Amino acid sequence: MTQIALIRHGSTAWNKEKRSQGQTDNPLDQEGREQAALLAARLAEESWDAIYASDLERASETARVIADRLGIQEIHLDSRLREMGGGQVEGTTEEERIAKWGADWGSLDLGKEHPDAGASRGKAALEDILRQHPDGRVIVVSHGAVLRNTLRSLVPELDISVKLGNTSITRVNHQDQAWQCELYNCSLHLEPEKGTL
């Protein structure tokens, strides 16, 4: 069995402003760095074989905080783990989108990457990780929308309607040619008084 911890990156200034980030390369903000440190402490309670991450800074920086804590030297950057491309929507808030394109802006193309395209590249990246780490335990740091679309493809019965929180952990296992999700969108490490899983 291969176990993969899918992690959404820590928070950014645009997260707080509710701006669509897409593939715009934003860094973590101070809270995002603190979230990554709390996540790293949680992950350090277990043994991990490798870390993969999107090459966008907010994900690779989150991965670096984890790797430093775990003593893992190399982070494997993979552009297939990037966030869904937002086209003209990137950098805008909901209010700005409504003002510019109307309330049904979501039905317009605007150059956005199709969900199936994001799912396809995310799935391909995870399948390559499986081949590299049979029976391994791997951390993958990526982005909310591409992770949810990838999960929709891998585990169709999973309810992905809840958006992934910053530095949340979603655990998936691959065994007997099938994927299972044993934990979705868990952020207990951000609530230290409640303990950790």
Q: What positions carry a catalytic annotation?
A: 9, 83
The upper half-sphere exposure of residue 108, i.e. CA atoms within 13 Å in the direction of its Cβ, equals 14
**Using CA atoms, how far apart are residues 162 and 125, in angstroms rounded to an integer?**
23
Q: Is 114 left (phi over 0), alpha (psi -120 to 50) or beta?
A: beta
DSSP H stretches of helix in 137-191: 144-154
**Using CA atoms, how far apart are residues 187 and 167, in angstroms rounded to an integer?**
7
**Using CA atoms, how far apart are residues 16 and 58, in angstroms rounded to an integer?**
14
